[in-house]
Structure 1
């Protein structure tokens, strides 16, 4: 049994990278990029990062004042976003299921 393979204990940096989902630098860069993109979207709808509660209240008032046109607009944005988000989610679940086995 000399050819028996032994498991090498994982280094703490490997465990940390696995926890993050990649190398720390790559994860930080992805998070920065996603934060900027989400920030642009939130700024486009009028949210202020320094007073987010008040900004959300103003957004809710704006949507309420628009009436049913807001629902139509939200529905269109939902469909537009779902065209991208749902297939990406489905693919991630399908490919993620293969990794779990």
Structure 2
């Protein structure tokens, strides 16, 4: 049996890790934290997880009723988030760029 080549467990999961973007445990932790964050944001705008269709309908009615003030509100939050998200995204793309 010394001549046999054994496959390491990490090598077996290499395709899976590449597909999901990391080790399964790390990806699961990131997804849980991101889900909590998105849940807080959706809760703040009035979404209900048990009746999502009604929540979306209420959101669109609210946006319609608020008119351009809602667009201004969404635009401000978009800009506020973009100030953080876009530079982080750009840095991650530069850092992970293929080397020549």
Residue in 1 that maps onto 2:41:
41
Q: Secondary structure of the equivalent of 1:87? A: helix
- 2:85 counterpart residue number: 85
Displacement, 1:31? Answer: 0.6
2:21 aligns with 21
1:68 and 1:18 map into 2 onto residues whose CA distance is 44
Structure 1: tracts of 5 or more residues without a match: 1-7
- How high is the TM-score relative to the length of structure 1? 0.79
| In structure 1, C-alpha distance between the alignment counterparts of 2:51 and 2:90, rounded to whole Å | 35
SS class of match (1:48): coil
Correspondence for 2:32: 32
Instruction: Provide the TM-score with structure 2 as the length reference.
Output: 0.80
Aligned residue-pair number? 93
Query: In 1, distance between residues paired with 2:73 and 2:48?
Result: 22
Gaps in structure 2 of 5+ consecutive residues? 1-6
In angstroms, what is the RMSD of aligned CA positions? 2.1
Q: In the TM superposition, what is the alpha-carbon distance from 1:43 to its structure 2 partner?
A: 0.6
Shift of 1:53: 1.7
CA distance in 1, matches of 2:96, 2:57: 38
Query: Which deviates more, 71-80 or 9-18?
Result: 9-18
Q: Does 1:54 align with 2:43?
A: no
